[in-house]
A and B are shown apart, each in its own frame.
Chain A
Amino acid sequence: MAEPSAAGRSFDEEALPHLDTLYRVALRLTADPTLAEDLVQDTMLKAYRSWQQYRPGTNARGWLLTILRNTFINDYRRRKHEPVAMDLEAVEPHALYRSVQDVDPEGSFFSQIVDAKVLEAIDALPTEFREVLALSDIEGMSYGEIAATLKIPVGTVKSRLFRARRQLQAGLYAHAVEMGYIKPRETAP
């Protein structure tokens, strides 16, 4: 192998800084810490072996996330019991703001929900929603970057994100009502 140390050095410098992002996205995709650890390790080993395909100075984070995502779909997804065939467009988006604007327009009930419940609500979303939400709203990637990483059109990224946020808000709201953090709006008699 030519220049193993130089290749190893550049891999360390370009890839290792993204471990936290890879780990968080893996957690959201698998919803299982043990699987997430294996997924990140498999991803890093695959990335290392195909490091010569990476063009230095380009988007290492996106490149690594594409590998992580493909590995997840090919090797991990089938291990989970998950309804895959779901019509994503069938989820009718509803603006939660309309339900809470009279009682909690600032959405302060969000701050009462504990972190673990927020993550649980994210992990309850369909995979296609979880992944765009994780990349956009948690990792801060642009729509264009996400489209390139997932190999889907920007319009699809946007519509999935829109529905993912609505569904997550609905889940968090249901939890907040259950816990008494917010009282549902009185319906007119």
Chain B
Amino acid sequence: MRRLDCEQALVHLEDYLKGELTPDLVLEVRVHLDRCRDCTGHARFEQSFLIMLETRARKETCPEEVRARIVAALRAAARGS
């Protein structure tokens, strides 16, 4: 296993938080974070940003009237074909 320095760990940080790293790299990043307070702080910041983004921007849903209009258009297309 490689020992990552801060620069190497930060390159992989967001992919680590998104669960996009190989198991080997996950381990290497985790080991670095365990012993580096600065990078742990950085990781916590990026994590809170990603959580904020998902919770805020996923609230919107397709409005009922739009859904109804689309279903009606699909039914009309089915009849027409």
Contacts and interface: CB of A to CB of B under 8 A. Distances in A.
A binds B: yes
Interface of A: 1, 4, 8, 11, 16, 19-20, 22-24, 27-28, 37, 40-41, 44-45, 48-49, 95-97, 100-101, 105-108, 110-111, 115, 118-119, 122, 133-134, 136-140, 142-143, 158, 161-162, 165, 168-169
B61 A23 contact: yes
Given A37-B66, A49-B77, A142-B20, A24 B58 contact: yes
A27 B61 CA distance: 10
A95 B39 CA distance: 12
Contacts of A140: 54
B15 to A, nearest CB: 7
Contact of B67 (A19, A105, A136): A19
B27 interface: no
B42 A110 contact: no
A118 B57 CA distance: 8
Nearest to A118: B56
Given A110-B49, A118-B53, A20 B61 contact: yes
Interface residues of B, number: 33
Contacts of B81: 1, 4, 49
Contacts of B57: 24, 28, 118-119, 122, 134, 137-138
Interface of B: 10, 14-15, 18, 20, 41-42, 44-46, 48-50, 52-54, 56-62, 66-67, 69-71, 73-74, 77-78, 81
Given A4-B81, A106-B44, A119 B49 contact: no
Given A162-B14, A165-B14, A105 B78 contact: no
A158 B70 CA distance: 34
Contacts of B62: 19-20, 22-23, 40
A27 B67 CA distance: 15
A161 B13 CA distance: 13
A106 B50 contact: no
A95 B7 CA distance: 12
Contact of A143 (B20, B45, B69): B20
Contacts of A28: 57
A161 B14 contact: yes
Given A40-B62, A107-B45, 4 more contacts: A23-B62, A24-B57, A96-B45, A106-B45
A168 B49 CA distance: 10
Nearest to B44: A106
Nearest to B41: A105
